[in-house]
Amino acid sequence: MAVQKSAAPGKPHPDATRRSERSRRAIYDAALALVGEVGYPKTTIEAIAARAGVGKQTIYRWWSSKADVLLEAFMDLGERTAQAAGQDADAVPDTGDLAADLKAVLRATVDELRDPRFEAPSRALAAEGVVNEELGRVFVTKLLEPSLQLYVDRLRAAQEAGDIRPDIDPRIALELFVSPLAQRWLQHTAPFSYEYTDTLVDYALYGLVPR
């Protein structure tokens, strides 16, 4: 990634203090727009530069690849959206009813994944991350894990309340309902529905075998 290597050895990053904020914004906007309009593979760096009214070199100066641009653009979009939505927008609620709380959050996730503004870029990043180890790592640590941590927190609270068995590892447990949803979305085995996510929660919480 092109980010925060304050003392990169090989190719010394240019002076970030003199960077044009205007260009950065324009590049983010152009990148996200293009991915939405023509898809990730047909989004070219030349087109991003042209649309942003920016020289190609300005992109190559600050990012190492198309994927890198898009990743930062997407993270920026996330931040801006989060700010606009207020601080604790992403926290899993805790009403005391674990099943209901999880279902509510998953339903919200379904809605978000359907938002076309997010769909194209996040698909693109997920796909690229599958094939590009480095980007995949950043994608996971910067974007995915923070969200998942919210589930961990909620599940741990549930453990303390006695709603979840104490020997359960929350980080693994959350995958029982989050991964299937992600999988369906990624592989367009969808359409995924509220009913589907509700079912996932029920199965995961109460198990498959007769009680």
Partner DNA sequence: CCATAAACGAGACGGTACGTCTTGTCTTTCT
Partner DNA sequence: AGAAAGACAAGACGTACCGTCTCGTTTATGG
What residues contact 122, with CB distance under 8 A and at least 6 apart? 74, 113
Q: For residue 206, state whether it binds a second copy (rule: CB under 8 A).
A: yes
- Build a one-symbol-per-residue string for 69-88: x at contacts with DNA by CB under 7 A, - elsewhere: --------------------
Report CA Rg, the chain: 20
Q: For residue 41, state whether it binds DNA (rule: CB under 7 A).
A: no
Q: How many residues does the chain have?
A: 211
Answer for which of 5, 8, 39, 46 binds DNA (CB under 7 A) is: 46
Q: Which residues between 135 and 194 bind a second copy (CB under 8 A)? A: 136-137, 139-140, 144, 155, 162-165, 168-169, 172-173, 175-177, 179-180, 182-184, 186-189
Q: Whole-angstrom Cα distance, residue 21 to residue 25?
A: 6
- Build a one-symbol-per-residue string for 20-59: x at contacts with a second copy by CB under 8 A, - elsewhere: -------------------xxx------------------
Q: Which residues between 105 and 124 bind a second copy (CB under 8 A)? A: 123-124
How many residues belong to the site for DNA (CB under 7 A)? 25
Q: For residue 53, state whether it binds DNA (rule: CB under 7 A).
A: yes
Sign of CA dihedral 105, 111, 112, 114: positive
Answer for which of 5, 20, 89, 193 binds DNA (CB under 7 A) is: 20
Answer for which of 17, 87, 95, 187 binds DNA (CB under 7 A) is: 17
User: Is 106 within 8 Å of 200 (Cβ atoms)?
Assistant: yes
Q: At what angle do helices 175-186 and 116-131 cross, to 10 degrees?
A: 100
Q: Whole-angstrom Cα distance, residue 76 to residue 61?
A: 19
Answer for which of 1, 29, 51, 65 binds DNA (CB under 7 A) is: 65
H-type helices in 13-162, by residue range?
21-38, 45-52, 56-62, 66-85, 98-114, 116-131, 133-138, 145-160
Residues engaged in binding DNA (CB under 7 A): 14-15, 17-20, 22-23, 26, 42, 44-47, 53-58, 60-62, 65-66
